[in-house]
Amino acid sequence: MDIVVLVKMVPDTESRLEIVDGKVNESGFKYMVNPYDEFAVEQAVQFKEASGGKVTLLTLFSNDTSIDTDLRKMMAIGADEAIVLRQDGYRGDRPSANAKVISGAISEMNADLVIGGVQGIDYYQGATGPMIAQMLGIPHISGVTNLEMNGDKFTAKRQIEGGLQVIDCPGPVLITCQKDMTKVRFPALKDIMMSKRKPFENREVSLNEENDIQTNECSLPPARGGGVIIDGESAEEKVDKLIEKLKTEAKVL
C-alpha cells in the first residue's frame, strides 16, 4: 500500500499577527506542521506498519523557509520520504491553485491512499483536499474520525449532527482526518536521528494564480474591552450598583 500524506506548513499559533494592506503579513512567521495533518501521518504509518508499503509526505510551500526539522520529525514517526514542492510566492489561502499543483505531483505517484488533515489551521478553508480528489478523479471522504483498512477497501466513520455515518469505499481514495482520529506518537530520539538518512526532495514548481478565489481584505477581531469589578462595602451595596449599571450603562433592564 503506497500512501501519500498531504502536509501543510502553517504559521505557528503563537506567531505575531499583523495585517498589512488588507493581507496577513507573513514575514517573520515561524511555521509548524498543521496539527490535523499529524493525525494523517500517524494513521498512514500505522497502515504501513500493518501491511507494508511506503508513506510519502507531500508538501507545497514557499521557497525561502527551511522546514527540514519539522518534516524530519514527521519522518521520525515513520514516513519514508518527503517531497517538498517549492513555489515562489506561495500562499496558503488559494485552495484551487494549490490543489492543481499538488494533484499534478500525486498523479505521477500511483497512490493507493491520499490522506491529509481536514483543514489547515491558517485559513480554515477545508477545500484543498476535496479539490485534489476531484482533479485526480478519485472519491473522497472528509472529516473522518476513524479509519479502518481491509485489503484495498476502507471503512471510514464520520461524526454528523446527532449521529455517526459509516462509509465503505474501495481505494484509491482521498481521506481528510478530523481531530483525534488517532493518537500521534512522540518519536524516540533514535528515530529522529535515523530520519536524517531518509530521502528528502525539494522540487521547484511554478505559480499559477488564475482561476482561484481572491482574498479582498483581512482584519483582526476587535480588542476585548476590560472587565469591571464593582466595589462596595457589602454584598447588598454591590448588587445595587450592578443593577444601576445594568439599567444605565448596559441598558438591558
Partner 1 sequence: MDPFHNYTSYDIPWWVILGIWSFIAIGLHVYQVGFIVKLIRLGKDDDRFNSWKQRMKEFLTDWLGQRKVVEDKLAGYAHALIFWGFLMLVSDVIDLGTGGRFAKLLEIKLLGNIELVDIWNIIVEIGYTLAGIGILFALYRRLIVRPEKLKGASMEGVLILFAILGIVLTSFIVEAGYMIGENHMNNWEPIGVLFAKQMEGIDSSTLGTIIDASYWIHMILIGGFLIEIPQTKHSHLIGTIPNVMFQDHDAMGTMNPMQTDENDIAVKTDDLDFDNLTLGVNKFEDFTWRQLSDGWACTACARCQDVCPAYNSGKTLNPMQIIMDVKNYGSEHGSQLLAGEEPDETIVDRFTPDAIWACTTCYACVDACPVHIEHVPKLTDTRRHLVMEASEFPEELQNLFNNLERNSNPWGMGAHTRADWAEGLDLKIGEPAEYLFYVGCAGSFDDRNKKVSRATAMLLKEAGVDFSILGEMEMCNGDPARRAGNEFLFQMMAEMNVDNMNSLGTLKVITACPHCFHTIGKEYEKYGGKYEVYHHSQVLNDLRQKGKLEINKFEDKVTFHDPCYLGRIGGETEAPREALGGDLIEMERHGQKSFCCGGGGARIWMEEDADKRVNEIRAKEASETGADCVAVGCPFCMTMMSDGLKEIGDVKPVKDISEIMLENLNTEEV
Q: Footprint of partner 1 on this chain (CB under 8 A)?
A: 12, 14-16, 28, 30, 32, 185-190, 192-193
Residue 119 contacts residue 93 (beta carbons within 8 Å): no
CB of 117 to partner 1, least distance (A): 17
Between 105 and 192, name the residue whose CB sits nearer to partner 1: 192
CB of 88 to partner 1, least distance (A): 26
Which cell numbers hold the place of 58? 507531500
CB of 186 to partner 1, least distance (A): 5
Between 24 and 141, name the residue whose CB sits nearer to partner 1: 24
What 3-state class would DSSP assign to 196? helix
Between 112 and 191, name the residue whose CB sits nearer to partner 1: 191
Which cell numbers hold the place of 189? 530520539
Distances, alpha carbon 144 to alpha carbons 5, 89, 182, 194, 209, in Å: 15, 32, 11, 31, 30
User: Radius of gyration of the chain from Cα atoms?
Assistant: 23
Between 92 and 187, name the residue whose CB sits nearer to partner 1: 187
Which cell numbers hold the place of 107? 498523479
What 3-state class would DSSP assign to 112? coil
Between 31 and 47, name the residue whose CB sits nearer to partner 1: 31
CB of 30 to partner 1, least distance (A): 7
Between 224 and 251, name the residue whose CB sits nearer to partner 1: 224
Between 16 and 247, name the residue whose CB sits nearer to partner 1: 16
CB of 14 to partner 1, least distance (A): 3
Burial (CB count within 10 angstroms: exposed 0-12, middle 13-18, buried 19+), residue 129: buried
Burial (CB count within 10 angstroms: exposed 0-12, middle 13-18, buried 19+), residue 146: middle
CA atoms within 13 A on the CB side of 180: 2
Phi, psi (5° rounding) for residue 227?
Answer: -75, 165
CB of 77 to partner 1, least distance (A): 10
Residue 185 contacts residue 77 (beta carbons within 8 Å): yes
- The span from the CA of 244 to the CA of 87, in Å, is 60
CB of 39 to partner 1, least distance (A): 14
Query: What element of type H or E holds 174?
Result: strand 173-177
